[in-house]
Amino acid sequence: MQKMYSELKDKGMGLIAVNGMDSDAVINKYVEENKFTFPIGMADKKEGGGIYDVAEKYGVSAYPTNYLIDASGNVIWRGVGFNEAAIRKALAEAGVK
Amino acid sequence: MKLRCRTLLLSSLMGLASCAALSAHADEKGEKILREAFQNLHKSQSLTADLITQRTLTGQPDMPGKGTLALKKPNFLNIVLSRQANSRTMKQTYVSDGKNYFNYAEGSKNYMRQPAAKNPTEFSGDWEGEVDAFFGGEATAAKYNADFAGTETLDGTPCNLIRITWKEGGDNRVLTYAIGQKDRLIHRTSWTAKIDETRTLTQTNRLKNIKINKSLAATMFAFVPPKDTKLYDPQDAFRAMEAKLVTVGKEAPAFELTDPQAKTRFSLAKMLDGRKAVLVNFWFYN
């Protein structure tokens, strides 16, 4: 993910890693260790835990799940699991190549 | 629940094996009775019985069950067990037709299927003691370090009690067989395991009306899927999961998140600004 982002961020790719389950401290340590440069965002947790708002809005029940959203704010691709080739293909179709 | 018990019993058997290897003090009488019972079951071509079970776990309501059990060599099996839990009845059916092993919980829309084991001692369930004895035979008994623990009469049938004890993770585990003095059949198994500091799990299986070497029709071991059920397909679960996702072509729901380091807020809209596409990745670390 980091590799793809480094390669394509100057070509118009944005990335948000949405996390709603870990603590800030755990994430910051993990980011530091792996030298991630892409933005990670902590979702607002719901009271009592469980699924969080953003995941609910996006119907996410398995991780990782990826969505590709174009400049006009529409979903242009989605996939459960991490399939780099499929993500790159969808990005290319959106002009990120 | 079922998985946990399976693990328990599996590890229990491993515990027994290592215990037998140490063989601190063999009780010849106990071992002889147990070996004979297992030999007897191993020689039998078929076995049918009524099954009455009881499960108790400290702090939880008891879970009594009743059903029927039919076994036939080399790997045919038909077990129906209805258990009570929280005033609900759960009826479970297990069938091995020799080729496949089916598992169905009443009320469920799906039934499970997997290839049947050649030697069905691997079948999991609350009756493992009986099934293993029937299919596993003397080889299974040889792993045990058994002690004679007295006698008990079960509904008019005098039985010898054979107790197997072993240590596992510093705890004492006990498995007791009640073996008919005349028929040399297992009429009851009971095992206890300490789950943790405060909780003990006990499972007792009572077999009644035991009949061996009865001729059993093949149809008895045929699984007929109940009306309106179908084979469980993991792809169904995946498709159901995908169906919940936002459809391609729809507007992506707006959201805001907090940067874990800077503690500042940022939005999807902001991220989209000036970019061709944004990948939104849902993940977690631990």
Task: Quote the CA–CA distance of A14 and B279 in Å, as a whole number.
Answer: 6
Residue B267 resides in a domain: no
Distance from CA of B112 to the nearest CA of A (A): 22
Percent of chain B with pLDDT over 70: 84
Residue A1 with chain B: CB contacts under 8 Å: 281
Residue B52 resides in a domain: yes
Check residue B123 and give its pLDDT. Answer: 65
Backbone angles phi, psi at B73, to 5 degrees: -70, 150
Task: Quote the CA–CA distance of A46 and A33 in Å, as a whole number.
Answer: 28
Q: What angle do CA B258, B264, B267 make, to 5 degrees?
A: 60
Check residue B20 and give its pLDDT. Answer: 37
Q: Which residues pair with B283 in a beta bridge?
A: A19
Residue B36 resides in a domain: yes
Check residue B47 and give its pLDDT. Answer: 94
Check residue B252 and give its pLDDT. Answer: 97
Partner-chain residue, chosen from B251, B255, B285, that has the shortest CB–CB distance to A26: B285
Domain range holding B141? Answer: 2-232
Binary contact (A42, B260; C-beta < 8 A)? yes
Identify the band that residue B61 occupies on the pLDDT scale cut at 50, 70 and 90. confident
A32, A59, A87: which is closest to B285 by C-alpha?
A32
Check residue B134 and give its pLDDT. Answer: 83
B185 is written with which tokens?
Answer: 């059949």
Binary contact (B248, A78; C-beta < 8 A)? yes
Give the domain CATH number at B93.
2.50.20.10
Check residue B86 and give its pLDDT. Answer: 79
Give the mean model confidence (pLDDT) for residues B118-122.
Answer: 72
Residue B124 resides in a domain: yes
How many CB atoms neighbour CB B274 within 10 A? 9
Check residue B92 and give its pLDDT. Answer: 93
What CATH superfamily classification does A2-93 receive?
Answer: Glutaredoxin (3.40.30.10)
pLDDT digits (tens, 9 = 90+) for B225-268: 999 999 988 788 788 888 999 999 999 999 999 999 999 999 99
Check residue B138 and give its pLDDT. Answer: 64
* B158, pLDDT greater than 90: yes
Residue A29 with chain B: CB contacts under 8 Å: none
Spatial contact of B280 and A69, defined as CB atoms under 8 Å apart = yes
- Among B283, B285, B286, the strongest candidate for a mutation testing the A interface, having the largest count of A CBs within 10 A, is B283
Check residue B26 and give its pLDDT. Answer: 55
User: From the first residue on, what is the mean pLDDT of each consecutive set of 10 residues in chain A (97 residues)?
Assistant: 93 94 90 93 76 88 93 95 93 93
* B22, pLDDT greater than 70: no
Spatial contact of B161 and B177, defined as CB atoms under 8 Å apart = yes
Sign of dihedral through CA atoms B259, B262, B264, B268? negative
Put simply, whether B246 touches A (Cβ < 8 Å) is yes
Distance from CA of A92 to the nearest CA of B (A): 10
Check residue B33 and give its pLDDT. Answer: 92
Residue A17 with chain B: CB contacts under 8 Å: 281, 283
Binary contact (A28, B249; C-beta < 8 A)? no
**DSSP conformation class of B109:** S
Binary contact (B241, A76; C-beta < 8 A)? no
Put simply, whether B271 touches A (Cβ < 8 Å) is yes
Q: What is the mean pLDDT of chain B?
A: 84
pLDDT digits (tens, 9 = 90+) for B73-87: 999 999 999 999 878
Residue B99 resides in a domain: yes
Binary contact (B255, A54; C-beta < 8 A)? yes
Residue A90 with chain B: CB contacts under 8 Å: 277
Q: How many structural domains compose chain B?
A: 1
B57, B110, B55, B111: which is closest to B83 by C-alpha?
B55
Give the mean model confidence (pLDDT) for residues B152-160.
Answer: 96
Check residue B247 and give its pLDDT. Answer: 94
- Is cis: bond before A64, omega within 30 of 0? yes
Alpha carbons within 13 A on the beta-carbon side of B249: 1
How many CB atoms neighbour CB B186 within 10 A? 26
Which H or E run contains B64?
A: strand B63-72
Residue ranges covered by each domain of chain A? 2-93
Please write down the long-range contacts of A53-57, taking CB distance under 8 Å and 24 or more positions apart: A53/B255, A54/A18, A54/A20, A54/B253, A54/B255, A54/B257, A54/B282, A55/A18, A55/A20, A55/B282, A57/B246, A57/B253, A57/B255
Spatial contact of A64 and B282, defined as CB atoms under 8 Å apart = yes
- Among B246, B280, B286, the strongest candidate for a mutation testing the A interface, having the largest count of A CBs within 10 A, is B280
Check residue B146 and give its pLDDT. Answer: 87
Residue of chain B minimizing CA distance to A83: B281
Check residue B194 and give its pLDDT. Answer: 83
Residue B258 resides in a domain: no
Give the mean model confidence (pLDDT) for residues B137-165.
Answer: 85
B257 is written with which tokens?
Answer: 């998140």
ipTM tops the 0.85 cut = yes
